[in-house]
């Protein structure tokens, strides 16, 4: 028996890109943010996503007051609140910058189409988009497992402890969850929140992975162009016209790379800041609940939070590494074999490469793996502070 392939085998990278984009569009369309639709407008699904974000935020503060001074319940309420704050920021910036996303998708598509007949470039682009697609599927699975853990929680508590508990610690005003009707209404509301929330977080994180990950393709194509120029300079039958055209093409590519990186940093600087700090809060609270009351959804929430943090820090590291690759490729080019006017272009490009753009946590710290390690240390510190506080209270 032949096993069915998990990913269709495409011969062209642009086909794989379209397939991956279709998967992304299905997620963003669910929350009403499919900007690929011609003449996109605010629709009822977008309104529903906004409604749920506002509702969860309002209910969170209402329930914190309702459960006070039960700190464990307040912590349970705080976890969905932190995740909702992520979605609020992503929804706001996604809608306001919808034209940017449409232009960026088209820019990435044109990259794949332009180099579909270039053997070396196409091979790298196809491998890259396949890896991005696998990564996006894994991220989606982990996030939805986090949502399923909340749905599994009341089932587990009922069959193991014979208790009826709610999936989320969010009570609806004037609805009694202790009654059969009230419990059913509240559970249905929680189910809707979990589905919408997981879809929104997955869609937003997949989009940034696709956009920053595609930078690898832009840089690999750029370095290949530099290598081809170097071969042209070393050729015994050197064609000056072809050399000039190649230099001009490389300079334009470099300019587009700088613009692409600047656009990414500008659009994601606030999103990264909010996501880093809300993920830290969610992880610390989930760890605390797991340690103190064996909160079952907390296990998967911790994993999902770590993935969110690691994803952003890896993407930031990729940006830095690829910028260094651009600088190295420019430095190693035998620019001294060019005409003086062309030498000036390459030297100016080298100068700009040494002042590259980095993704940051709100402009306060670079987003890289070193920052990830520092964040892990902070999480451990905050977690131990909470434990010591509880032990002192007891």
- pLDDT for the residue 4: 39
C-alpha to C-alpha distance for 264 and 267, rounded to whole angstroms: 5
- pLDDT for the residue 1: 35
- pLDDT for the residue 240: 79
User: What 3-state DSSP class applies to 236?
Assistant: coil
Could you give phi then psi for residue 177, rounded to 5 degrees?
-70, -10
pLDDT digits (tens, 9 = 90+) for 190-222: 899 888 888 888 888 888 888 888 988 999 998
Terminal Cα distance for the chain, rounded: 61
Q: Is the dihedral of CA 70, 71, 76, 79 positive or negative?
A: positive
Estimate to the nearest angstrom the gap between the alpha carbon of 189 and the chain centroid: 27
Q: At what angle do helices 180-234 and 240-293 cross, to 10 degrees?
A: 150
C-alpha closest to that of 199 among 21, 23, 27: 27
Residue showing tokens 């590291």: 317
The rounded percent of the chain whose pLDDT value lies above 70 is 97
Q: What is the pLDDT along the chain (394 residues), one digit of tens a residue?
A: 344 345 567 788 888 888 888 888 888 888 888 888 877 888 888 888 889 889 999 999 999 888 878 888 888 889 888 888 888 888 888 888 888 888 888 899 999 998 888 888 888 899 999 889 888 888 888 888 888 888 888 888 888 888 888 888 888 988 888 888 998 999 999 899 888 888 888 888 888 888 888 988 999 998 898 888 888 887 777 777 888 888 888 888 888 888 888 888 888 888 888 889 998 988 988 888 888 888 888 888 888 888 888 888 888 888 888 888 888 888 888 878 878 888 888 888 877 777 777 777 877 778 888 888 988 888 888 888 878 877 776 5
C-alpha to C-alpha distance for 317 and 314, rounded to whole angstroms: 5
User: What 3-state DSSP class applies to 360?
Assistant: strand
C-alpha to C-alpha distance for 276 and 377, rounded to whole angstroms: 14
C-alpha to C-alpha distance for 161 and 156, rounded to whole angstroms: 8
Q: Where are the domains of the chain?
A: 13-393
- pLDDT for the residue 58: 92
C-alpha to C-alpha distance for 219 and 213, rounded to whole angstroms: 11
- pLDDT for the residue 3: 41
> What is the model's pTM?
0.85
């Amino acid at each position: 028996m032949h096993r069915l392939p998990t990913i269709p085998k495409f011969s062209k990278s642009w086909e794989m890109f379209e397939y991956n984009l279709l998967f992304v569009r299905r997620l963003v369309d669910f929350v009403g943010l499919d900007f690929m639709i011609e003449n996109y407008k605010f629709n009822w699904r977008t309104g529903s996503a906004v409604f749920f974000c506002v509702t969860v935020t309002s209910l969170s503060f209402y329930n914190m007051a309702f459960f006070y001074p039960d700190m464990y319940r307040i912590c349970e309420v705080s976890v969905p609140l932190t995740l909702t704050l992520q979605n609020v920021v992503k929804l706001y910036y996604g809608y306001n910058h919808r034209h940017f996303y449409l232009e960026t998708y088209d820019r990435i598509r044109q990259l794949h189409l332009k180099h579909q007949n270039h053997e070396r470039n196409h091979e790298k682009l196809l491998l890259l988009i396949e890896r991005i697609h696998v990564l996006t599927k894994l991220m989606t699975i982990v996030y939805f497992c986090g949502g399923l853990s909340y749905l599994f929680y009341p089932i587990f508590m009922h069959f193991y402890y014979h208790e009826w508990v709610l999936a989320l610690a969010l009570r609806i005003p004037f609805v009694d969850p202790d009654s059969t009707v009230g419990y059913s209404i509240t559970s249905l509301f929680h189910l809707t929140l979990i589905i919408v929330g997981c879809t929104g977080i997955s869609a937003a994180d997949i989009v940034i992975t696709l956009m920053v990950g595609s930078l690898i393709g832009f840089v690999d194509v750029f370095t290949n162009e530099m290598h081809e120029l170097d071969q042209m300079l070393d050729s015994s039958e050197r064609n000056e016209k072809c050399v000039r055209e190649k230099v001009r093409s490389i300079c334009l590519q470099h300019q587009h790379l700088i613009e692409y990186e600047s656009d990414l940093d500008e659009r994601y600087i606030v999103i990264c800041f909010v996501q880093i700090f809300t993920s830290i809060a969610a992880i610390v609270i989930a760890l605390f609940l797991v340690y103190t009351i064996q909160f079952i959804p907390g296990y998967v929430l911790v994993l999902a939070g770590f993935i969110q943090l690691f994803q952003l820090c890896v993407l930031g590291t990729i940006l830095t590494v690829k910028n260094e690759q651009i600088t190295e490729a420019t430095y190693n080019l035998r620019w001294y074999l060019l005409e003086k006017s062309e030498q000036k272009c390459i030297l100016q490009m080298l100068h700009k490469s040494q002042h590259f753009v980095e993704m940051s946590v709100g402009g306060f710290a670079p987003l890289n793996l070193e920052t990830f390690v520092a964040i892990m240390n902070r999480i451990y510190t905050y977690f131990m502070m909470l434990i010591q506080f509880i032990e002192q209270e007891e």
